Structure 1
Amino acid sequence: MRVAILGLGEAGKMYAAAFAEKGHEVQGFDVREVEPLAGVTIAESVGSAVADAELIISLVAARAAVIVAEETRASASPGAVYIDLNSAAPSRKQEVAGVLGPEIKMVDGAVIGSVMRYGAKVHLLLAGAHADEAARAMQAIDADTEAIGGEIGDASQRKLLRSVFMKGLGALVTESMRAGEETGEVGWMRKQIADAVVDGEAALDRLYEGTKIHATRRSFELKDSLAQLQEHAGASVNWPVTRGALDVHSYWSREGQSDLSAELAKVPTAAIGDGGDRLGLVDSAIKQTWPSRPIAGKAFTIHTREGDNQALHRALKEVVPGDILVVSGGGFTERALMGELIAQRAQNAGIIGMIIDGAVRDVDELAKLDFPVWARAVSPAGPYKTGPGRLGVDVSIGGVVCRHRDYVVADADGVVVVPAESAEQVLSSGQAVVKDEAERRTKIQREIAKKTADQVT
């Protein structure tokens, strides 16, 4: 069999040598100058490498895959099997197939496993109409192939999915060992990692389900872990995997958390502020536009250009009932970001209120609709509707950072943002403040009553 290997990096050299050792005629090409390989002819161009080849394996950089395919089409024989083993998105593989045309038998290939460990016998996923034929060709070097058929791009999709775990695992191990180095616990950390990765599916289930069940407790533990690492290594050293793990646990903490909105709405913002170290309190310039009832709910965040409400219209299609729109409008007060019509649409979508760092209008109508709105100002001027704007991002609202799905509580005193991962603690602290104030108020009233009684007698 005549084989062309395009790209003579680590994997390309490996496959070229494997086919040559089995007695096949091998032509190789690389844009860089490469050392001679036993049994392999180094071609001067893609065209000369693929001419008359029955099997063509592309192992070039993903960005060059289309260019190499174009050069291949001009010289390859009709019916040649072309395995694209480049690590690229499915769309890139489909683009390569389109360039090659129907006369070249394009196969989407993906290397699954370690080339360093398994060599030419590393597991290959092969997708597309000619996957079986490609698998038979690769059996010439005893490659471990799996022809999954399907469409061009299916093998690459699986490889990219696997990379989420494998590359993430590599990053995790690297950062964990670095943490061991910083704290003088390399040997102990190494044993912890080795012991944790040998239980197969049992370990998978334990980690996956345990993360979701214990997310809240573990998120606090990770905060302490991050603080310890920063203490040992200094603030200049970054810990991206640990931060990412904290973000993941915080996410599951929020997902698994019961909706505390109804309970939070019963606690005055002043008490929540007092119970939460007086943090999260929004600029006092953002006030009720009319004397509405208190509200509490999860934030649907919007970041919009000053005086432009296009993003609000888009958000109305994505909210869930019970949400509060939190709009960062840059504090601009000369154009209203919403009024009666948006309020009606918001009510229809189940939104219970809005917090806007900007201006609104139609205040009388908002009151008639019983739609609570807190804003920085009231202006009769209407908004622009051209964008841009972003949905579900971290925003600054009255000097306070609000993340998408944090809790927001608003009443006659103002607005407070409650981080989702600490909502239960803040609620408990706020309730304790209310209870303490009630007890003190009762005590004061008793003292007044007693003083009054003594004066009468």
Structure 2
Amino acid sequence: MKVAVLGLGEAGIMYSSAFAQAGCEVQGFDIREVPVPEGVVFASSVEEAVQDAELILSLVTSRGAVAVAEKTQGKANDGAVYIDLNSASPAKKNEVKDALGEKIKMVDGAVIGSVMQFGAKVHLLLAGSYATDAAEALSVIGAKTEPIGGEIGDASQRKLLRSVFMKGLGALISESMQAGEQTHQVEWMRAQIANELAHGEDALDRLNDGTKLHALRRSNELQDSLEQLQHKADSALNWPVTRGAVDVHKYWARSRELTITEQLAQVPTAALGDGGDRLGLVHSSIKQTWKSQAIAGKAFTVYTREGDNQAIHRALKEAAPGDILVISGGGFTERALMGELIAQRAQNAGISGMVIDGAVRDVDELQKLDFPVWAAGVSPAGPYKHGPGRLGVPVSIGGVVCQHRDFIVADADGVVVIPGESAEQHLQAGLAVVADEASRREQIQATVPIT
């Protein structure tokens, strides 16, 4: 049997090796130059890999699944069995089916279990009219298959439902181990988790390491699961645990070289606003007092009486380095809540900047100090210092509710408040907006006539 394996990642290498060892003629393709197992021929293109193949396995991730199917259509032999094993939504699987056309036997495949643990014998769900054909072809390598028939998308739907539990469990374990590291109780935490798992420390390491190693792919898979659940109109649950698991995976997926605040500071507030459904953007009356660099950090909230800064003085003693003071002053702009001296004290405390729904003064000195401040106005009049005021409470800032420890991003365009529990999702959404705009900019520039 001639087999084509599209995508030579961990699973692709495993399957291509298994078919080669079973005596099959195997051609593999990947967009990267990767070493292939003995007995496997590396093809230069998808079209070359699928030529005359009787069985085709697609393992290119959800993002590339349709494009690979389009390249297969017209090149693979009529009647070839095509198993899409990518973790994708049912809708995506049907897009693949449409791209392949009617002459190729499309099968919706879903990996149920750990490839690292079970190898080629990992449990596979197979759905669609040709599920039994696929199971027969996979029997050559002793694969554990479960043909469920049904429609294309049925296997992937079950896979996404399982991900709610398995990816959530992996996220919980990785976060628990991180908590153990930060409290210097790693071995104690390992023992607590391992004692509750059927396969002990082996299961712990597999789930913990796998969550980090495959974080980006699994975050996308879990996001598909979440979207599938949200489309159920009769559900009153907002799926908070699954949302949290998505965030944990996105945390591990992004570069460890930068903190989330450093990465947020590099994304324009406009992109973060667009990616966040244009919510959380502070009123335009709160703007830069001078042209400073963009800042990002966790909010230390201050709720104060109009024109009174006693609470700000208290906040300077309690805020942590890297915090941004978010001061709700009722939008009153006739008395400044801070100036040069408070800015110097804030800098000494490591505070990154301030966002004030009120007035400031000493603007020229703030610029000389290089201390970023966004405010609703400027006034030379000094503040009262009697109180009352509260720290670390929810505040309203420019028409937006800001919880203590939410994230703040501020730049020349304005200020956006990002809920702490969804910061990872906002970051990824903002980065996607930036990438999309860059692509469209290139297209626009390419159409400009040369004069």
**Coarse TM-score class (shorter-chain normalised):** 0.3 to 0.5
TM-score in terms of structure 2 length: 0.45
TM-score in terms of structure 1 length: 0.44
